[in-house]
Amino acid sequence: MLLPTRIEHPYERVPYVTNTLLGVNILAFLLTFTQIEHGLHDLTFNTRNFQVWQPFTSMFLHIGFWHLIGNMIFLAVYGKYVEERLGPWRYLAAYMVFGVVGGLLWAATNDGMAIGASGAISGLMGFVLVGAPFAQVRVVFVLWVYVYVVWKRFNLAALWLIGLWILLQILYASLASPLDNVAYAAHFGGFLAGCGLAAFLKSDVCKGTTWWLEDHLPGGGPAATKRLERARSTPGRPAPPTSEEPEHEVTLAALGEKTSPVAVIKLLMKRRGLAPERAKEHVDAIQGGAPQRFAFCDEDAAEGFRAGAEDLGVEVVLASRP
């Protein structure tokens, strides 16, 4: 089993909306164990007794513990990333639209009742696939063998992880029996809605607006760029040397096995005032075996930069010139 745990990204936002969605889903699930369960019955998506609110309310209900846990893991990982890219209100609107589109496609091809956040979460995955196909997803491989558990962590590009997921969905849907209670149509509907939104936001139609998704660096986007610019101007940030002769050098020799390249890019942008593309060039060079040297006039600035790099797991050499 492959479980995503996070998407490598220089996050700047607190994912308030994602955390709220997680809380609402969990609360609704807990309410099913009380007498309120009978009232929740009217909130399911029921094609035989349709009410206008059902496409919205049904995406917050789950049929069992594992159904809830599986959806919440994917919501926490992909939701946090999409909220970072879109901002809280746009993200919330997109999430609801993904869920509704998925529910409507299911209703158009099925008869009965359906619940779950799978359609909305599938939309988030579609958004990531098109919006950032090469974003690195930290994955945990879990294998149960009798009483033994194999647990291995590694990174995988979103393109391969989500691509495998959609291929499995197509396979499962083609083999599904009439008694299968998985709403594959909702998955496909939400997924296509997410792909469509990301493709639109990356198109020339949105270029030059605050909606445009830049593709040059994981994260990108005008909003992210503005946040990074504000971070560069934060009081106390060590500035690169100007007219003074630099006396201290910090060499980033190698990235640790668990070091996030994106985190190092963010460090260079904040501490050295580098543009995202230039910071990425330095990190690529380090990963290619070419240590990168950075000069400082101030010893404290050099020491702060060294400490920040070491905290990320980077192999660092600090030197002073005679």
Residue 221 lies in a domain: no
Residue 217 lies in a domain: no
Residue 47 lies in a domain: yes
89-98, 219-228, 299-308: range with lowest mean pLDDT: 219-228
Does 125 lie in the same domain as 12?
A: yes
Does 99 lie in the same domain as 162?
A: yes
Residue 222 lies in a domain: no
Predicted local distance difference test score (pLDDT) of residue 39: 60
Q: Which of 142, 177, 201 delimits the end of a domain?
A: 201
Q: Which of 152, 180, 201 delimits the end of a domain?
A: 201
Q: Quick one: DSSP state of residue 217?
A: S
Does 39 lie in the same domain as 138?
A: yes
Residue 227 lies in a domain: no
- Distance CA(123)–CA(197), nearest Å, equals 9
Q: Compare 225 and 195 and report the one with higher pLDDT.
A: 195
Does 166 lie in the same domain as 311?
A: no
Residue 224 lies in a domain: no
Does 192 lie in the same domain as 102?
A: yes
Residue 214 lies in a domain: no
Distances (CA, A) of 113 to 31, 41, 117, 169: 19, 10, 14, 20
* Residue-by-residue DSSP string for 106-118: HHHH--SEE--SH
Does 168 lie in the same domain as 39?
A: yes
43-52, 195-204, 239-248, 262-271: range with lowest mean pLDDT: 239-248
Q: Report the CATH number that the domain containing residue 24 is assigned in CATH.
A: 1.20.1540.10
Name the CA dihedral angle for 37, 39, 43, 49, rounded to a multiple of 10 degrees.
120
Residue 37 lies in a domain: yes
| Res. 274: pLDDT tops 50 | yes
Q: Report the CATH number that the domain containing residue 254 is assigned in CATH.
A: 3.30.1390.10
- Distance CA(213)–CA(87), nearest Å, equals 12
Interval 113-170: pLDDT, tens: 888 899 999 999 999 999 988 888 888 877 665 555 556 677 788 899 999 999 999 9
Long-range contacts, stretch 14-22, CB < 8 angstroms, 24+ apart: 15/79, 15/80, 15/83, 15/84, 16/88, 17/79, 17/83, 17/88, 17/91, 17/92, 17/95, 18/75, 18/76, 18/79, 18/80, 18/83, 18/91, 21/75, 21/79, 21/95, 21/117, 22/72, 22/75, 22/76
Interval 212-254: pLDDT, tens: 887 645 444 444 445 455 544 544 444 444 445 667 888 999 9
Residue at token pair 């640790």:
256
Does 296 lie in the same domain as 156?
A: no
| Res. 35: pLDDT tops 70 | no
Predicted local distance difference test score (pLDDT) of residue 179: 52
- Structural domain count of the chain: 2
Burial of 245 (0-12, 13-18, 19+ CB in 10 A): exposed
Does 276 lie in the same domain as 150?
A: no
Does 239 lie in the same domain as 196?
A: no
Q: Which domain holds residue 17?
A: 2-201
At 162, list the tokens: 């989500």
Does 185 lie in the same domain as 46?
A: yes
Q: Are 153 and 221 in contact (CB under 8 A)?
A: no
Q: Which of 201, 220, 253 delimits the end of a domain?
A: 201
Does 299 lie in the same domain as 189?
A: no
| Res. 207: pLDDT tops 70 | yes
- Distance CA(183)–CA(155), nearest Å, equals 29
- Distance CA(211)–CA(269), nearest Å, equals 23
Q: Are 8 and 260 in contact (CB under 8 A)?
A: yes
The CA-to-CA distance between both ends of the chain, in Å, stands at: 56
Does 34 lie in the same domain as 183?
A: yes
